Amino acid sequence: MSKKVFIETYGCQMNVADSEVVMSILSNAGYESTDNINEAGLILINTCSIRDNAEQRIWGRLKAISHLKKRKHDLKIGIIGCMAERLKEKLIETEKLVDIVVGPDAYRELPLLVAEAEAGHKAVNVLLSREETYADISPVRMDKNGVSSFVSIMRGCNNMCSYCVVPYVRGAERSRNPESIMKEAQELYEMGYREVTLLGQNVDSYKWDNNNKIMGFPELLSNVAAINPLLRVRFSTSHPKDISDELLHTIALHDNICKHIHLPAQSGSSRILKLMNRDYSREWYMDRIKAIRSIIPECSLSTDMIAGFCTETKEDHEESLSLMEWVGYDFAYMFKYSERPGTRAARKYKDDVPELIKSERLSEMIALQNKLSIKSKKNDPGRIYEVLVEGYSKRSDEHLSGRTSQNKVVVFPAESRVKGEYVNVLIEKCTSATLIGKCI
């Protein structure tokens, strides 16, 4: 059998980081990564379960690659990640193409499970762990730009939001040893990377206890920023109930901690937030935004919003729109509510907002956010931003593209600039998605 593995990743940044851990484990077992699915002897699909649409994409993908199995009888196909954890053995029972099913905490067992599949058995391991963080594994970097990368600082989630499947498929929170985080970030800088994003389902709750000496997220973030002033540091995602003034002052103190915070609101209605079990109110959320504006005036903000959660009324929806307008988000991820089996919402509440109404409300959110994004960028012409060059723009090899500390995309003439370099760019104009300028 070919010892080449093709990994396809769906979903969040954490899944991207997990795929790099998986590749490292398989590399040590003699496997080689390939970008060509046709030459692979092992295909792994790293999956997402956050919405039904995400899972439907995986079913569609399995159907699309079914011809490969018919052509290559020794080919093994594995489903890993959150969908594997949620559906477990049902995946193999439902989809005969699948040989291997592995949850997010069982990746170390992959070589053994592949061997089991090669011996003609269906291989499944979906045991969740209270200790596994993969801290000792050096990920194989699968990104293409060589400039920015992800570092996972914790796994799992203790926030039992009523709509969310994450605690069930990723287990309880556990934080990673800070020394291993620092080592990984330092190695990335030495390899030429100039930006790291610290990842966790809720980074604010990072907590490392070493003989009663506690390190929280602000201290960890400060330590990573101190590796080198040329290493930009981002993080995702914060929870509104936990984001502290200490963290905000830490961000303000370091020039190389990016001035962008992703702070999912999910709804602007306190009634809906209570049903969602988000543990904060509209007023609490607005207070946190005020604190960000006060302590980090140049900070940009993005969010997640859900349209059509259980019992949501027109008034609840309008409160979400008014919150979006009040904050003036630079960017937002917006979705229709998707009931997930096993969650508290699925057990206790009726999914009673008609699909047509959900779609209409989502369209209103998207239209408003488009206006807010344009409004945000219209303030930028005439300003000078430090931009980290990530590569050529999508449209032209004569232009480079990069991002500001505020996570805004900037396009500018390449001239003699190179990937991984910091350049000062005078913004001349903007589109709804991009700032356009010239180096100065």
Per residue in 409-434, pLDDT (tens digit) is 999 999 999 999 999 999 999 988 89
Task: Check if the beta carbon of residue 374 is closer than 8 Å to that of residue 360.
Answer: no
Mean pLDDT across 288-295: 98
Phi, psi of 219 (to 5 degrees): -65, -45
Task: Kindly state the percentage of the chain with pLDDT values over 70.
Answer: 100
From 126-130, 224-228, 316-320, the region with the lowest mean pLDDT: 126-130
Specify the pTM: 0.94
Model confidence at 394, pLDDT cuts 50, 70, 90, reads confident
Q: What is the pLDDT of residue 396?
A: 87
pLDDT tens digit sequence for 144-202: 789 999 999 999 999 999 999 999 999 999 999 999 999 999 999 999 999 999 999 99
Report the DSSP beta bridge partners of residue 347: none
Q: Report, as an integer, the average pLDDT of 203-220.
A: 94
Inform me whether the pLDDT recorded for 2 exceeds 70. no
**DSSP-derived pairing of the beta strands 4-9 and 42-47:** parallel
Pairing of strands 399-403, 409-413: antiparallel
CATH C-level class of 384-439? mainly beta
Domain boundaries along the sequence of the chain: 4-125, 384-439
Strand 435-439 to 422-430 pairing: antiparallel
Architecture of domain 4-125: 3-Layer(aba) Sandwich (3.40)
pLDDT digits (tens, 9 = 90+) for 108-125: 999 999 999 999 999 999
Q: Please report the pLDDT score of residue 432 as a whole number.
A: 82
Buried-exposed string 141-170: b where 16+ CB fall within 10 A, e elsewhere: ebeeebbbbbbbbbbbbebebbbbbbbbbb
Token reading at 435: 């700032």
| Residue 285 amino acid letter | Y
High-pLDDT (> 90) share of the chain, %: 93
Give the residue from 78, 21, 81 showing the smallest Cα distance to 50: 81
Query: Is pLDDT at 404 greater than 60 in this prediction?
Result: yes
Mean pLDDT of the chain: 95
Q: Which of 49, 105, 56, 107 is nearest to 78 (CA)?
A: 107
When pLDDT is averaged across residues 33-55 and rounded to a whole number, the result is: 95
At position 269, the amino acid (one-letter code) is S
User: What is the end-to-end Cα distance of the chain in Å, rounded?
Assistant: 55
CA distance 80 to 66: 17
pLDDT at 201: 94
Whether 384-439 and 4-125 are alike in CATH topology: the answer is: no
Q: Closest by alpha carbon to 273, among 236, 316, 237, 242?
A: 316
